[in-house]
């Protein structure tokens, strides 16, 4: 931890010295399944250390009779609360958080300068969430020691999923620092599954006009056992973003494993797409 903080201040110094473009950006960070705002602690610290505004959200906790809409509500509430005069935000989703940010892009395209998918679910106008979910989970035994939760009785589909410790250790945190794995094992929570096809199809309607109007960047993780590289590529082919970047030597939890790489990529991407951050002021 001390080494990490030393790095933070070093990075902060270097960037302050070298920065010619230092406009404050607002980064909105959205966690993946079973996680919470806490999982961004390294990346958020780095971004704040160079003066950016960071909002890491906790999506609604799961459990009983969960629904899509409720889970994503903290994010949509937050974006709705931003005044139309505010600068556009840089929206970042990790893992299953990609689903939430996709819904947010569709609802608030005019409030987002660029959306960044970090090894994340990336549904689009012609790639449904269910197709991605099916593809992710078709591997026999994918969920390992995870436990399905049946709130609506054993004869109905499961409503939630609790990742098991082996799943977390080997699919998500394989290359992460051991203390991050310990943190995740103590904080991971069950999260809602979206089996209600009608609800999903209705809620996850992404259009070219709205969703398609926001620049998207996908960051690939090359040694990801949670969302395999083949699956990352499969989504990218079917729903091409403007740009694809690769971070090498990282597992699924790149935000814990390579926080400096994520930090520098986020800063670069935010700058690169800042042409889209200005508000168009209507003139009469
Ligand atoms: C950061 O974001 C918050 C929440 O929207 C906002 O109230 C605040 O003014 C922002 N600060 C800066 C420095 O942009
Ligand atoms: C996903 O899999 C389910 C169950 O196998 C199937 O009923 C459904 O049609 C599939 N959906 C998509 C979009 O592939
Ligand atoms: C990642 O590794 C691949 C294959 O080894 C290599 O071709 C690529 O240049 C590397 N990319 C980065 C950004 O380091």
pLDDT confidence bin for 61, thresholds 50/70/90: low
Domain that holds residue 45: 2-12+23-134+191-283
Average the pLDDT over each of 31-40, 152-161, 166-175, 181-190 and give the range with the smallest value: 152-161
| In the chain, % of residues over pLDDT 90 | 65
- For residue 139, being part of any structural domain is answered with no
Mean pLDDT of 228-256: 98
Residue 82 lies in a domain: yes
Query: Is any atom of ligand 1 closer than 6 Å to the C-beta of 51?
Result: no
Mean pLDDT of the 13-39 span: 78
pLDDT of residue 13: 52
Give the pairing type, strands 243-247 and 147-149: unpaired
Looking at the domain assignment, is residue 178 inside a domain?
Answer: no
Predicted confidence (pLDDT) per residue in 187-241, tens digit: 998 887 765 555 566 666 899 999 999 999 999 999 999 999 999 999 999 999 9
Among 47-51, 99-103, 262-266, whose mean pLDDT is lowest? 99-103
Rounded distance between C-alpha atoms, residue 110 and residue 267, angstroms: 20
CA 256–ligand 2 middle distance (angstroms)? 33
Per-residue pLDDT at 20: 40
pTM of the complete model: 0.87
Q: Is residue 10 left, alpha or beta, with left meaning phi > 0 and alpha meaning psi from -120 to 50?
A: alpha
Looking from the CA of residue 134, the nearest atom of ligand 2 is 1
H or E element that contains 245: strand 243-247
Cα–Cα distance measured from residue 149 to residue 147, given in angstroms and rounded to the nearest whole number: 6
172, part of any domain: no
For ligand 1, whether the C-beta of 24 sits within 6 Å is: yes
Q: Which residues are catalytic?
A: 95, 224, 252
pLDDT band (50, 70, 90) for residue 64: very low
Residue 270 lies in a domain: yes
Residues in CB range of 107: below 8 A, 6 or more apart: 76, 79, 210
> Is 26's C-beta closer than 6 angstroms to any atom of ligand 1?
yes
Residue 32 lies in a domain: yes
Give me the DSSP letters along 39-66: GGHHHHHHHHHTT-EEEEEPPPP--SS-
State pLDDT tens for residues 70-101.
567 789 899 999 998 889 999 999 999 998 89
Name the residue with tokens 């197709």. 131
256: domain CATH number is 3.40.50.1820
Please tell me the distance from the alpha carbon of residue 260 to that of residue 255, in angstroms, as a whole number: 8
Q: How many structural domains are present in the chain?
A: 1
Of all protein residues, the one whose alpha carbon is nearest to atom 5 of ligand 1 is: 82
Cα-to-chain-centroid distance, residue 218: 10
Does residue 207 lie in a domain region? yes
What backbone phi and psi angles, to 5 degrees, belong to 76? -70, -35
Task: Quickly state the pLDDT bin for 157 (edges 50, 70, 90).
Answer: confident
Residue 31 lies in a domain: yes
Ligand 3 pocket residue status of 246, Cβ below 6 Å: yes
């Amino acid at each position: 931890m001390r080494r990490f903080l030393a790095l933070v201040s070093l990075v902060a110094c270097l960037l302050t010295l070298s920065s010619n473009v230092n406009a404050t950006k607002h980064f909105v960070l959205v966690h993946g399944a079973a996680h919470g705002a806490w999982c961004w602690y390294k990346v958020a610290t780095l971004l704040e250390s160079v003066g950016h505004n960071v909002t890491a959200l906790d999506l609604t906790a799961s459990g009983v009779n969960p629904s899509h809409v409720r889970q994503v509500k903290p994010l949509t509430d937050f974006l709705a609360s931003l005044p139309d005069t505010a600068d556009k935000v840089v929206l970042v989703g990790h893992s299953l958080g990609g689903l939430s940010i996709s819904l947010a892009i569709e609802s608030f395209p005019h409030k987002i300068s660029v959306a960044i998918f970090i090894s994340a679910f990336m549904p689009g106008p012609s790639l449904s969430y269910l197709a991605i979910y099916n593809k992710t989970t078709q591997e026999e035994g994918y969920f390992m020691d995870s436990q399905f939760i049946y709130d609506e009785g054993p004869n109905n589909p499961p409503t939630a999923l609790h990742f098991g410790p082996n799943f977390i250790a080997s699919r998500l945190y394989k290359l992460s620092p051991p203390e991050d794995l310990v943190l995740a094992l103590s904080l991971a929570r069950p999260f809602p599954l979206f089996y209600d096809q009608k609800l999903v199809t209705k809620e996850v309607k992404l259009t070219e006009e709205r969703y398609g109007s926001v620049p998207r960047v996908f960051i690939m993780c090359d040694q990801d056992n949670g969302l395999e590289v083949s699956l990352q590529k499969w989504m990218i082919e079917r729903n091409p973003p403007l740009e694809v970047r690769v971070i090498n030597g990282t597992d699924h939890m790149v935000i814990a494993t390579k926080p400096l790489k994520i930090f520098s990529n986020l800063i670069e991407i935010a700058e690169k797409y800042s042409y889209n951050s200005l508000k168009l002021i209507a003139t009469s």
